Amino acid sequence: MPKGYWVAHLTVTNPEPFKDYAAGASEAVKKYGGKYLARGGAYHALQGEAAPRNVIIEFPSTQAAIDCWNSPEYQAAKKHRDGHCEAQFLVVEGVE
């Protein structure tokens, strides 16, 4: 079974509430077996527009990635993000 990945590109517009989001999201990710591979570090835009914060999270499966997103824990954390950043989130299936 291939792994699943969250790929997120964010522009944080209000950092204080975003801290609460990051803490709550981290707990949800851990609960669903997720592992941060990249989390807001340095980046190099090679083509197209780039967001200043980029996150990649590996999950045991695509379903685990979707389940984490839909979980009560993540949705509670997400309320601290909504309205405080511009975001694009994808779930991507890995290769075996």
Contact (CB, 8 A) for 18 and 12? yes
* DSSP secondary structure letters along 42-94: -----SS---SEEEEEEESSHHHHHHHHHSHHHHHHHTTTTTSEEEEEEEEE-
Overall size of the chain counted in residues = 96
How do 35-39 and 53-59 pair as beta strands? antiparallel
Can you list the domains of the chain with their CATH numbers? 4-93 (3.30.70.100)
Q: Which residue has the tokens 């914060």?
A: 53
Each residue's pLDDT tens digit in the chain (96 positions)? 899 999 999 999 999 988 999 999 999 999 999 999 999 899 999 999 999 999 999 999 999 999 999 999 999 999 999 999 999 999 999 998
Contact (CB, 8 A) for 6 and 34? yes
Residues 14, 35: Cα–Cα separation, whole Å: 25
